[in-house]
Amino acid sequence: MVGGTAAASLSSSFGEHHMRWTKQVIAAHKERLSKRPPDRRGDLIASWERSPAASPQPAVEKALELLADGNSNEKELGYYVLMDLALDEPPLRAHVSQLAHHRSAAVRRGLAFHLSRSFPAEFQSAVYLTLLRDKAASVRVQTITRIGMIYFKALLPELRALRATERDRKVTQELDYWIPLLEVGYRVEPSLTPGMLEVTALTGIGIASRSVNTTDPHDPQILGVVEELKSRP
C-alpha cells in the first residue's frame, strides 16, 4: 500500500502542511504509477485533476468504484481523492458520510481510518458516531483506534457509554486501552527495564513512548517527558 510509505516520506502530520495531506498522498500515487503494473489509479487521478474546471462527479464515481473492488493501492487513493473533493466542495461530503452505511465492512473500516481531520469537528463526530454503532466489531475497533490516535477527546462520553454496553472482547479491550489515554493524555507503566517506567503520550497523530529513569509514577520529570513526546514533529 502506497500510503504507509508515501505518507511517512511526505509528512508526519495530517491536515494542512504546505500542501493539503490528501493532495500529498495523491501526488505520491501519481509519481509511483510508472513503477507498478497498470491499474485504475491513472484514470482516477486524471478525473481528479480535471475536477477543478469540470464536474467532480466522474472523479467521485471512479473513487467509489475503486473503494468497492479495488486493490489496496486503488482503495487508498479512492479514499484520499474522495476526501479531497469533499473538502473543496461541502455538498460532496454526503458521499463520505454515506460510506458509513456501505454494505462492505472493509469499506467502513477504511472510512474510519481515512476520514480527514480537515473536516469540521461536527462532521467528523457524526461519521465516527455512526461507525461506533456499526454491527461489525472490526469496524468499531478501527473507529475507536482512530479516535484515540488523533486524540479526538470530544467523543470520550460516547466511548464511555459504549464501554458500558459493549460485549465483544476485542472491542472492550480497545476501549479499555484508549479511554484512559484520552482522559489523561498519557499513561505510565512499568518498563521491561528494571528501575524504569514507560511513558506513552497521545500526540494527535498517534502515540509516542519513552522510558524514564524512575520508579515513581508521580515523578515530576514524567510530565516533562510527556510534553516532549507531544511536541515531536
- Whether residue 180 is found in the same domain as residue 197: no
Q: Is the pLDDT of residue 214 over 90?
A: yes
C-alpha separations of 16 from 5, 64, 101 in Å = 19, 24, 28
Is 127 within the bounds of a domain? no
Q: Phi, psi (5° rounding) for residue 4? A: -60, -45
pLDDT of 35: 66
Residues 105 and 203 in one domain: no
Q: What's the mean pLDDT in 22-39?
A: 82
pLDDT at 206 over 60: yes
Residue by residue, DSSP assigns 85-118 as HHHH-GGGHHHHHHGGG-S-HHHHHHHHHH--TT
Q: Are residues 193 and 170 in the same domain?
A: no
Any domain includes 126: no
Query: Do 104 and 174 fall into the same domain?
Result: no
For residue 36, the model assigns a pLDDT of 67
pLDDT the model gives residue 10: 34
78 and 10 inside one domain: yes
Give per-residue pLDDT as tens, 106-136.
999 999 999 999 999 999 999 999 999 999 9
Specify whether the CB–CB gap between 65 and 74 falls below 8 A.
no
- Identify whether residues 47 and 141 lie together within a single domain: no
60, pLDDT greater than 90: yes
d(Cα 210, Cα 219) in Å, to the nearest integer?
14
pLDDT at 218 over 80: yes
Domain count, the chain: 3
Is residue 96 scored above 50 in pLDDT? yes
Q: Would you say how long the chain is, in residues?
A: 233
Residue 99: inside a domain: yes
Within a domain: residue 125?
no
For residues 114 and 217, membership in a common domain is answered with no
Are residues 105 and 56 both part of a single domain? yes
In a domain, 59, yes or no: yes
Which among 184, 200, 219 is the end of a domain? 184
- Angle, CA of 41, 47 and 53, to the nearest 5°: 155
Q: Given this model, what pLDDT does residue 3 score? A: 43
What is the per-residue pLDDT for 18? Answer: 58
Is 28 within a domain?
A: yes
Domain limits at 192? Answer: 187-231
- Are 108 and 56 contained in the same domain? yes
Say if residue 168 is in the same domain as residue 214: no
Q: What is the mean pLDDT of the chain?
A: 90
Asked if residue 46 and residue 17 are part of one domain, the reply reads: yes
Q: Is 22 in the same domain as 91? A: yes
Q: Which of 170, 212, 213, 216 is nearest to 227 (CA)?
A: 212
**Mean predicted confidence (pLDDT) in 141-152:** 96
98: pLDDT confidence band, cut at 50, 70 and 90? very high
